[in-house]
Structure 1
Amino acid sequence: MAVANIHKALEEAIRTRRQVELRYMDDDGFRVFEPYVLHVLGGMHRVVSGVQVSHSQDKDMANSWGCLEVAQISEVKLREQTFRPHRGFSSFAVERYQHVTCAVDRS
């Protein structure tokens, strides 16, 4: 899957608050992820930040906040399942991120 298509799918998931299934780096299985913010990290890496709901290979990573480098995502599928932003997340705090492309709205 091309990076541009992955980027578009993540933007759609953020706008509609839908979970995604994604394959990251060398994962054999899929991760279920709730994407909150698409932005640049460290001035050069496009990443998606959000909550990892489940990980087929590492159960300890369930329900944890994380940043995934978009270029390392090989596949993404939008799920029908929607999510509510965590009460600790503020869309007003996204200014701490660099070059935000898209962020979930708490309204």
Structure 2
Amino acid sequence: MSDEFKHLEGSRNQLGELYVNWKEKYGDQISINYVDPRNTSMIASYLFKQRKKGNISLFDAIKHLLFHVKLDAIFVNGYYLENKDDFDKIVNNMLDAKGDVNV
């Protein structure tokens, strides 16, 4: 039973490294939430909160919920981050614009 999720270890470690790096770099300027991809109710809640804030459209919230929810998916203010290398550029633009970044 202890090896049941061993195949996910690499992905979890990679995500953990990103989390630590981003938290060190941005501190309290950004809010980082980890949600298990099997917890669709929490993911839906996050996306619809972003919709309510005006960060994404209803269409995008539904599209992201149906097509982008996976183990290593990263959303920035409700938008699916296709390339993790774009994170700094996107976050800095959002911080410059309104200072509210929820990852």
* Structure of higher RCO (CA pairs closer than 8 Å, 6+ residues apart): 1
Q: TM-score, normalization: structure 1?
A: 0.29
Q: TM-score, normalization: structure 2?
A: 0.29
Which of structures 1 and 2 has the bigger CA Rg? 2
